[in-house]
Structure 1
Amino acid sequence: MQRSPVSISGDQNKKSPPSTEWQRVLSKRLETYAGSPTCMEAYRRRGIREKTIQELGLSIFPKRSTITVENTKIRLPAGLAVPNWRVNDLWGVIVRQFSGKTPHCNIKGSARVSYHVTRLERVEAPVVIVESALDAAVLYQEAGDLIHAVALCSVTIKPDGYLKTLLGYATQVIVCLDYDAAGKEAYGWWREYYPDSVQAFTPFGKDVGEYHLAGHSVRGWIKDLLDNVSRGERVPARPKPEHQVYLASDPDNLQAVIEHFHGLGSPVGAALKTDSTDDGATHDPRGAKARLLALSAGGCSVVVDLEKVSSSTIEGIQRLPLVVYDGLEFSETCRFLGFNPGAVDCLTSQFSTISGEKWGLEKLSQFRLGYGPSLHHADFEQPHMGESEKGAAALEAYTCEEIHALQMEKINRMNLGGAYRLTLEAMPAISDIRVHGLPVDVPKAEALAEELHKRVEVSKEPLPQDDSEALRWVSRLLEHRSPHTGRIHPRVNVNGTVTGRITFQEPNLQGIPRDHRVRELIAAPEGYVLVGADYGQIDLRVAAQVAQDEALNNAFDKGVDIHAYTAAVVFGTDIDTVTPEQRDQAKGANYEIVYGGESKLLKQAQSRLKRAFPALFAWLENQKSKVHTAFSIKTPAGRTIHRELGAGGWVNKLYNYPIQAGSAEVMLAALAKLPQHLSGLEAFLVHCIHDKLILEVTQEQADQARVALEKAMTEGFLDRFPDGPTTGLVEATTGANWADLK
């Protein structure tokens, strides 16, 4: 392990390292986890190789803990632990936390000094100053033979005596702080006190780490920087979009634009800008007025003033292969303009498919392209455009076009095309939920609220838990009603969970309790009914498919009550003699198998269950055996779920996540099939709850909608698991309200 970057004589540093005991205890803790599989995986995700980890003594604190040094308790947060060695003293430990308000922190007792790493044995060399110790580690790995890498660990920290001495010997000083407002502002101090220093930013991404992770050559960038500085040339600025922007303000002009883009045959970036009158509670898209539509392809952007063209005029963009940042939001707004854009390519879904995360457009643009729309929209403004928002719209459309090409190349290279299309094709049906909204029986809701309030007034006591929960939900349903429609238009999140399930916000409609008083409030208006269907034991069916358990699949194929079947195995009885109590206990055991659990019954019946479902339990044991070696999980569709470092429960997630993700993918496939089966019917999706879909349909077409829903959901399951048994898979029912649906 490298402990002394270089020896600096005449060190002006007047600070002292921590006590010998502090160094001993922290060194021991660092050595405990250094080189562990979790440590190696954590740094690998940041592009830091094993040799670098070993040379710099990089370690990890896998979970939060507390140590005691000289009667002082010291909290160790979960995160990447970077030791700051100078000669043979441990001056501090810098932690890149897995979670928390501040990404970086110094362990209590650490000296507030800079972090310095290099492969050079001489001090007379260029110095590159960055913010993060991990960025310095990347510089050491990629260009440590060319420079001294120094991390300040915060833009507010000024050079300590050691760094001042090093800078005195430096042949060049390059200040490369993070590409954000704080990083730009902080360079003012360096320009004042080190006037010969040069400010530089990575061409892409926020910092050196992001630039490296995006696949760019850090070494090549450093060499170019050094060459430019040595020749006295200006450091190249970040790339800026070079684009022509035009304004389409009349129908004929717009039609010509659409024909032009259609003729290109390439993806067209798109952005919609609205004036929202959203009151902050209902989130009804009808409260937003679309003002600008920007389209970008083939070297130019066109901004359409929607106040000057009719909705029928812009329907032609349906023919264009559009690329947008948020597909759901774009689709919803377009539908209120009078046309349905269908399934449009979506940057958020692409990035989520690749990484499992959702980034804002600004961050994604900096990471992929090297600039962010909010920082550079002025570069797009044209004299004839007038308002800067038009330039911003044009740049967003251009950004979508450019990022799409980069991300689709990566999706294809990673063989994730199927997983991405699965999400994309489900978008039109999902947007129905927000566009049409969930119907609420307002008079009944108000009456229930009044009744529950009166109970409190009369009894002078708090309501029982069930009544309190019911009142809370009645209030939320009424609060989130749209003033335009009287319905609830929630925010919908595709891939809202790590396993890919759909979630809702404002309100969280999946959290509505099973209380029939509350579910009765979700009621179809006069002349309409609700049609609902859910998958029967979908997680167990997916488990049977993933594990290829013949016995479990055969039981489903024969239409056997799977919980009664398990009860017969557990209690050693015939399936016909299983009691309701035994079935309920076995049902709990079944879900413990899938979700993780160690009830007394499951432990007692373990050997019997293994004999009954050998392939399932063999798969479970194989997944559990990977707890110390596997740091990611593949879903049935091929998407990767990475282990959340610092979080617990990984052993259960190893088998639960593939099953839950498989169920989520089945639902997405069903949603993709739904529009074609509902074609010609006055029916639309109003809710999606894990394994259940609810439609609103005219009374006359209820039977047709019920058949269509069953077909779409069955085809969705077979789309993901072609050999899966479908007996008893889906059964749709009809009712006046949600409580009536089975």
Structure 2
Amino acid sequence: VEILKKPVVNGKLLEGDRYKHWISPQQIKKASLKTTFEKVCKHLKQWEWGDEEMVDYMAAFIMLYPFHKFMNYRPWLYLLGGSQSGKTTLIESFIMPLYSNLVMKMDKSTAHSTAQEIGNTAIIPIFDEFEKFRRLEEILELFKMTSSKGGGVKKSGTPGKEPLRFEIKQMPFFASIYTPTSIKGDFAQDNRTLIFKLSKNKKERQAPKIFTEDECKELRGNIISSVIENWNAISSTVKSIEQQKENIVKSLGNKITSRTVNNFCYTLALIHIAREGKDKTLKATVPEWSYDDIQRDDGDRVLTDILHARINYEGKEHLIVDLMYSAIEENNEEDKQILRKNGITPANSKGEQIIAFDSKQIKKTLFKQDDYYSKLHIGDVLERLPGAKKNQNTHFGQGDTRRSTQVPFSVIKEVARGGGVSDVRDLAEKQESTKEQKAQHTESPQKAKQKESTLINDPLKHYKVSVEYITTKEQTVSAFAELLTTNKPIALDIETYSKDKGYGDKGGLDPYLSEIRLVQCYSGGEKIYVFDLQKVTLKDFPKEFWKRQLVCHNALFELQHLRHKGIHPKKVDCTLLIAHTLSGKTIKWGMSLKKLCEKALKINLSKEQQVSNWSVETLSKEQIEYASIDALVTFKLFEKIEPFLKKKEKALSYETKKDAQHSLTKMKLSGLYINRNKHQSLMDQWKQEQEESESKIKDILGEINPNSSKQLNVWLKENMDKQTLAKWKKTKTGKLQTSQDVLKLYKDQIPWFKDHERFKGAGKNFSTYGEGLLKQINPITGRLHSDVFLAGTVTGRLSSAKPNCQNFPKDKSFREIFEAPKGKTLVLADYSQMELRVASLISQDKTMLKAYENGIDLHKKTASFVAGVSETEVTKEQRQQAKAINFGFLFGQKAQGFVNYARDKYGVVMSLKEAENAQRKFFQTYKGLKAWQEKIKKEVVKNLKVQTPLGFVRYFEKGTNQWSLENEALNLPVQGGAAESILKALKHIEEKLDWKKAQIINCIHDEIIIESDDDYVEEAGKILEEGMMQGFLDVFPKGCTRDLVEVGKGKNWQEAK
């Protein structure tokens, strides 16, 4: 057959006398290279690859197998993958059947036996799990391609006789779980090595298809035919690639040599020809995943596992990473001794803090029960870390000097931040930070007294102002004649009291349960006016007054009470919001009027009268003066800090929050209506679920209290194996922790876990959203009126309390209890994928921006890249996984932490390797986002601040740990931009909505809910959609609004959703 006379000689595989036929002429039928290539790629996509591009390269290598003897300098092919990655299945179910007799799987071979089997032949050897071989270095040395002919030579034989000579020109296929480095010739950095990586298969993914013998014959024939037919084109393309090698080497720097290009030329040529039409530009580049970073991955993983390891010493459990920090930063000798016993010691090398690792001892102690790690493996991979030095003499104690791998402590800290240990360290640092902050805010009595002596204790005397107590209509007219003569803003404050003692403390704060007793006003003159509303009324106040610029501290409080009384002031500034905007701190951090007066005005503001009885017929002089001083200092505080808004370029951020006050005031007063019958049914359901779960737990454990950690400890200690108990998280007193987060780690070993999870969940729902919610219902309106805060978060997002509407369960049955009363309908709108949209605009990631411009669901787009399918083929499960991937890596999750994040928040179960694969593909897809993240992380470390699109800035103290800085840098601009858009939207909606027919009743992150008259629903929906779109454009004028806002309606929250 003429076709076989080209590169393949008569279908014979082996040269010389020893040969086998691996293909017959009858099998060869003309086939398209492109179609054949697609078939191979499609089959390979059944596995989880570390990079989408790997599929093309692996397909090209497989198709070029029969022709490898005609190509010089072929690279060594590496396939990495841990247990359950499908690595062996790929070899045994596809490659070997496809090229029967052309490939040979070799188990536990020696260099000599390998040479005899394949020397002077074209057989391709496949070494599976090769790192376990006893003569590893000999095997690798055999395939060192050092000669100009691209092959090695092996000589062996009986002494006294002429040695046998075996030429080795093959492309060996090494299937392994890691890449060794401590091999003669620096094997892992060999510039002829191409490394592929498989991740653990997802559980929902079906097992790869097994090819039948006939299917293998057909595909094999198609491959031979298509490659031979295109051999001239491949050869000419190879020459084109070779012409570009100088530019490639120059662009990649010292990562590769010029000879590397030859290793990939045939593969690149085949891919280019097969993919022509999709990508007509010849990209003569070596894939980044084939070198450099891949070499370091395993080092990071091993080091992360070491840092995560827990050891018991004298009855106390220790985390290795904590011991390291303690040993180096606190010079703790006891912790150093514990580390040394486990093969780890801190040291100093030429002025640099390092950690030395004895891989042999680490294997004996930390990884004794772990078959994955060998001492060779541990040492090899640690050497890949930046700055690591191998075979160093290190002092481990008196008379104990060992050969070890030394790693800079700075590198360890970097890996700790990126490998999941950051969760442990960050928690400890947060706890320590909280202690420091408490210490700062908890002064000693002596220091407090000393500080008080330097403050102004009598503001009235200091500012030389008097108080005029207004009790008649005539006095009121005279007072306002004076107040309105000035163009300055007027400070306003109120004092309230509960209508009924039965309402308790909240009575004085709730507009529906309280009355306003005093209104205090000050505009910078010589008098503060205090109006007693038991003597005069708000109707006596001139309308002109409510049109003037007013200033309050925590203006939402005053606005809610005034609006409830039918008063609607338009221009109201808030010193709390100004302080929040200028400092970047929340209301929890010294934003009270008392604290701000101390800091800005050096005034000691007494609050003794705050809890006095404001309902008495005759108020005391102390009460009146106390009330007046609040108005005085609010005015003085505004004068002092307001100018800094323009100086610091923060006016726009402040105005955005200020404008949202009016709509939030109305929202607070409107409240949420609850169907009591549905709520009671839901409570009964939770109670029943809790009782049933408790009964099932007792069937397994006997008469036990599921809430008793002590009783659960007894069962765990009696039933869990020693290895598990050793790793189990413990309390400070040494008891096993029994929180759901800890139990979840061992759920497969705990037969009662699911029932216990249901028991705890139902119990929490019943107490928090059952009885707890009932207590929050207003006795006057029968509705929920949540307190809303504009300065409650560092990102600018709204927060709420009593109840916390921002954190309501997403359960459908729970949302159904929030209904529209008869004659009303709920209209709901939310921003679609708001945080991702904001990220796309801030980072200017072209892929993300284009997706939104074309109306593409970004979750589906990510899923298609990660799963290797088209967007139309993306399943519901794949989209859910992509949702976790998008939000997790958008906000700086590392692979280790992402595994827990995806599972707990989205119900997506992924292995660490799958998470690493997803992370890699995410940033390969959204390169602009990655570039922005790297840039802003550097900026925040340098400048100790980060800001939102409208200029709200969060500042950080010197010494703030880098992980926290970088985390905030990724969060604040995105979440802040989304928050600013919703606040702008609230302003537009408030201005256009007919509040007699419709009211905003809730705002949760990116969602706004309106309760509308049935005949006003369409208009309300239109105002809602347009307002939210305009709010977005106010912050992002060039933003794409296609599919931005989704509007729904219904008789309950779930139906509208």
Question: TM-score higher than 0.5 here?
Answer: yes
Task: State the partner residue of 1:370.
Answer: 602
Cα distance between partner residues in 1 of 2:495 and 2:535: 15
User: Cα 1:372–1:438, aligned 2, differ >3 Å: closer, same or farther?
Assistant: farther
Task: State the partner residue of 2:472.
Answer: 250
Task: State the partner residue of 2:834.
Answer: 538
Q: 1:104 Cα deviation (Å)?
A: 9.0
Letter paired with 1:507: P
CA contact (8 A) 1:98 1:646 kept: no
Cα distance between partner residues in 2 of 1:661 and 1:628: 19
Letter paired with 1:340: H
Cα distance between partner residues in 2 of 1:536 and 1:601: 27
User: Residue 486 of structure 1 is aligned with which of 744, 763, 782?
Assistant: 782
- 1:193-234 Cα offsets, whole Å, 9 max, x none, are xxxxxxx62679xxxxxxxxxxxxxxxxxxxxxxxxxxxxxx
Larger radius of gyration: 2
Q: Counterparts in 2 of 1:113-192, with a 5 A limit?
A: 177-178=447-448, 180=449
Cα distance between partner residues in 1 of 2:497 and 2:462: 28
CA contact (8 A) 1:281 1:480 kept: no
Q: 1:605 Cα deviation (Å)?
A: 5.0
User: Residue 430 of structure 1 is aligned with which of 664, 674, 684?
Assistant: 664
Q: 1:721 Cα deviation (Å)?
A: 0.3
Task: State the partner residue of 1:304.
Answer: 531
Cα distance between partner residues in 2 of 1:353 and 1:249: 38
Cα distance between partner residues in 1 of 2:1051 and 2:530: 46
Task: State the partner residue of 1:471.
Answer: 766
Cα distance between partner residues in 1 of 2:474 and 2:845: 62
Task: State the partner residue of 1:146.
Answer: none
User: Cα 1:677–1:460, aligned 2, differ >3 Å: closer, same or farther?
Assistant: same
Task: State the partner residue of 2:21.
Answer: none
Query: Are 2:1003 and 1:688 aligned?
Result: yes
- 1:343-380 Cα offsets, whole Å, 9 max, x none, are 411111000000122321111112222213317999xx
Cα distance between partner residues in 2 of 1:280 and 1:97: 29
Query: Are 2:540 and 1:313 aligned?
Result: yes
Task: State the partner residue of 1:190.
Answer: none
Cα distance between partner residues in 2 of 1:454 and 1:375: 48
Letter paired with 2:956: R
Q: SS state of the match for residue 783, structure 2? A: coil
Query: Are 2:1032 and 1:717 aligned?
Result: yes
User: Cα 1:362–1:607, aligned 2, differ >3 Å: closer, same or farther?
Assistant: closer
Q: Counterparts in 2 of 1:155-554, with a 5 A limit?
A: 177-178=447-448, 180=449, 201=454, 240-276=462-498, 277=500, 278-280=503-505, 284-299=510-525, 300-314=527-541, 316=543, 317-357=545-585, 358=587, 359-374=591-606, 387-453=621-687, 461=695, 464-472=759-767, 473-554=769-850
TM-score by length of 2: 0.48
User: Cα 1:711–1:681, aligned 2, differ >3 Å: closer, same or farther?
Assistant: farther
Letter paired with 2:636: E
Query: Are 2:555 and 1:555 aligned?
Result: no
Q: 1:586 Cα deviation (Å)?
A: 1.9
User: Cα 1:739–1:468, aligned 2, differ >3 Å: closer, same or farther?
Assistant: farther
- 1:229-280 Cα offsets, whole Å, 9 max, x none, are xxxxxxx999723112222223343244334323311110111011135435
Letter paired with 1:663: A
- 1:302-342 Cα offsets, whole Å, 9 max, x none, are 11111122332236231221101111101011112221223
Task: State the partner residue of 2:366.
Answer: none
Task: State the partner residue of 1:144.
Answer: none
- Cα RMSD after superposing both structures: 3.4
Aligned residues: 541
User: Cα 1:709–1:375, aligned 2, differ >3 Å: closer, same or farther?
Assistant: closer
Cα distance between partner residues in 2 of 1:693 and 1:730: 11
Mark the runs of 5 or more structure 1 residues left unpaired by the alignment. 1-23, 33-61, 63-76, 80-94, 106-130, 132-153, 157-176, 185-199, 205-235, 379-383
User: Cα 1:155–1:454, aligned 2, differ >3 Å: closer, same or farther?
Assistant: closer
Higher share of residues assigned helix: 2
CA contact (8 A) 2:690 2:760 kept: no
Cα distance between partner residues in 2 of 1:385 and 1:525: 43
Following TM superposition, the consecutive aligned residue runs of length 4 or more in structure 1 with deviations greater than 6 angstroms are 24-29, 236-239, 375-378, 457-460
Query: Are 2:1041 and 1:726 aligned?
Result: yes
> Which segment is superposed worse, 470-479 or 399-408?
470-479
Q: SS state of the match for residue 521, structure 1? A: coil
CA contact (8 A) 1:497 1:503 kept: yes
Cα distance between partner residues in 1 of 2:988 and 2:451: 49
Q: 1:455 Cα deviation (Å)?
A: 5.9
Q: 1:465 Cα deviation (Å)?
A: 4.6
> Which segment is superposed worse, 515-524 or 413-422?
515-524
Cα distance between partner residues in 2 of 1:246 and 1:576: 74
User: Residue 618 of structure 1 is aligned with which of 931, 952, 963?
Assistant: 931
Cα distance between partner residues in 2 of 1:718 and 1:238: 47
Cα distance between partner residues in 1 of 2:608 and 2:684: 54
User: Cα 1:570–1:315, aligned 2, differ >3 Å: closer, same or farther?
Assistant: farther
Q: 1:596 Cα deviation (Å)?
A: 2.2
User: Residue 579 of structure 1 is aligned with which of 858, 864, 875?
Assistant: 875
- 1:605-643 Cα offsets, whole Å, 9 max, x none, are 556544543322210121233464342111111111123
User: Cα 1:661–1:298, aligned 2, differ >3 Å: closer, same or farther?
Assistant: same
Letter paired with 1:540: L
Cα distance between partner residues in 1 of 2:554 and 2:328: 49
Task: State the partner residue of 2:175.
Answer: none
Q: SS state of the match for residue 286, structure 1? A: coil
Letter paired with 1:650: L
CA contact (8 A) 1:677 1:711 kept: no
Task: State the partner residue of 1:70.
Answer: none
Q: SS state of the match for residue 482, structure 1? A: coil
Task: State the partner residue of 1:677.
Answer: 992
**Percent identity for Structure 1 against Structure 2:** 28
User: Cα 1:491–1:650, aligned 2, differ >3 Å: closer, same or farther?
Assistant: same
CA contact (8 A) 1:533 1:731 kept: yes
Mark the runs of 5 or more structure 2 residues left unpaired by the alignment. 1-326, 333-347, 349-412, 414-427, 611-617, 696-705, 707-757, 899-912
TM-score by length of 1: 0.67
CA contact (8 A) 1:239 1:370 kept: no
User: Cα 1:96–1:679, aligned 2, differ >3 Å: closer, same or farther?
Assistant: closer
CA contact (8 A) 1:666 1:717 kept: yes
> Which segment is superposed worse, 606-615 or 508-517?
606-615
Q: 1:525 Cα deviation (Å)?
A: 1.3
Cα distance between partner residues in 2 of 1:454 and 1:565: 42
